[in-house]
Structure 1
Amino acid sequence: MRAYFDPASPLCLPSSACLDAAARVIGAARAHGVPVVHTRVAYGPDGVDGGVFVRKVPALRQLFDGGGKLGELMPEVAPTAAELVLVKQYASAFFGTSLASTLLAQGIDTVVLVGVSTSGCIRATAVDAIQHGFIPLVVREAVGDRASEPHEANLFDLQAKYAEVVSESAAISYLKEDR
């Protein structure tokens, strides 16, 4: 979402390199007929559906209350008309959404994760993915965080316990495989 790449946002990342890598991974998925699901955060008026999370991180309510420009998906990774966009209020793409049932109905057993932030949404989604019985692949170059320390620490921990952390080239090769 734009909030992670706009210099005026408190969530802005120091680099947009992960955005370019994410675009390449998504492009490979599309080229090989692999379903792509997008997520974005949006809250109702005054963050009413954000619970304790928006109290803990007030910037969320400020940035995503009712949508707005900072809640838009970046053009580099924008969904096509045929791709599902799930709206979420918490870190995990699984929590409070139809993601698990959507993937199961399509016979999908592996999720390839790209996006931000490594220590927040990516980690939470990977943990929930494995807890739902999916194999999570986190694409190292296609995820990012506001600082290198939490980014690297979370990649280390994800690899150790919850996911396979793979290179962009390995992810693209995986997406090209016949299914």
Structure 2
Amino acid sequence: MFSRVEFRPGYPDASCQNKQLSAITKLNLAIAGTPGTEFYPGFQPESNEIQFVKHRISAAYNSELLTLLDSRCIKTVVLAGLSTSGVILSTTRQLADMDFRIYILQDAVIDSNSTVHDVLLHSVLSSQANIMTVDAAKNML
């Protein structure tokens, strides 16, 4: 499943009390239907892959993700994408509290700060998720 951030024009769905979302609204980013909400070329979902919109940093907060997982009886998730200190951290924490089994693909996540990325993966997130490479995950299939 693929998530992307998207807001309505005028940002009625973005709280001014949320520091990260306030930065997005000030820059007039992530408005529905604009190029900034599309997947990066080469990383788009296939036509048979599910995608959903999120309005917060966590992919699980008030999005379709939990419904999509529940309806398929899925209790294990594999996380990849941007950014380690944003969506990966927030989504991992929320799903761990909901008793999901979580795998993070260390060579398929990135952060603008490599030190923060390393500390989060190996000292913080590793207490709630299994950290592994893409190749190791493929070998588990």
Letter of the aligned partner of 1:107 in structure 2?
C
Q: Which of 107, 110, 120 is 1:154 aligned to?
A: 120
Instruction: Specify every segment of 5 or more residues in structure 1 that has no aligned partner in the other structure, as ranges.
Output: 1-36
- C-alpha distance in 1, partners of 2:17/2:3? 17
TM-score normalised by length of structure 2? 0.88
Other-structure match for 1:87: 53
| C-alpha deviation, 1:75, in angstroms | 2.5
Letter of the aligned partner of 1:120 in structure 2?
G
Aligned partners of 1:100 and 1:132 also within 8 Å:
no
**Matched length:** 138
More helix by share: 1
Q: Which of 98, 104, 111 is 1:132 aligned to?
A: 98
User: Which structure exhibits the higher relative contact order, with contacts defined as CA atoms closer than 8 Å and separated by 6 or more residues?
Assistant: 1
Q: Detail structure 1 runs of 4+ shifted over 3 Å in the superposition.
A: 52-59
Instruction: Specify every segment of 5 or more residues in structure 2 that has no aligned partner in the other structure, as ranges.
Output: none
CA 1:53–1:115 in 2, change beyond 3 Å: closer, same or farther? Answer: farther
Other-structure match for 2:14: 50
Letter of the aligned partner of 1:91 in structure 2?
I
Letter of the aligned partner of 1:112 in structure 2?
V
1:97-136 equivalent positions in 2, closer than 5 A? 97-136=63-102
TM-score normalised by length of structure 1? 0.71
